[in-house]
Amino acid sequence: MFLLDTSTLISANLFPNRLGKYTRNLIRRSPDIFFSAVSVFEIVAKQMKGKLNLGKSVYEFLAELDARSLPLRVEDAAEVYSFPSLIKHDPFDRLILATTKAHSAKLITSDQKLLDLGFDWILDSTI
């Protein structure tokens, strides 16, 4: 199971050249690609602030990817406790990271702070 962080989710659909070849192939070929409900909230918030223009509804945007939604559960949110060094980091990223850990998945991200944690289940989206 692979979980795309918000930036990777946006890039996969709108800016695929921002992703590495391995990541593009993985997203295209794997049947286990997921996105978080947290990312949907973040995308909608960016749209409302005028920082992102999808040119379509968020539902149409998501339908274009062969990915499934991964709901945010109480267990996922509680897993944020596992990453005390990230207390000042973006809360959306922390929730997505915690969700990934709670589901024993792999996170695909370009967030250097998350990549620097050194976990083998956090994958660099630029590769």
> Rounded to an integer, what distance in angstroms lies between the CA atom of residue 126 and that of residue 62?
21
pLDDT of 66 higher than 90: no
Q: Bridge partners of 107?
A: 3, 122
- Supply 50's token pair: 């005028």
CA atoms within 13 A on the CB side of 116: 6
Domains of the chain: 2-124 (3.40.50.1010)
Q: Count of residues for the chain?
A: 127
Give the pLDDT mean for 47-76. Answer: 92
Distance from the first to the final alpha carbon of the chain: 18
Give the Cα separation of 74 and 5 in Å (integer): 19
pLDDT band at 8 (very low <50, low <70, confident <90, very high): very high
pLDDT at 79: 94
Least reliable range by pLDDT among 19-23, 43-47, 62-66? 62-66
Would you say residue 114 has pLDDT above 90?
yes
pLDDT of residue 45: 95
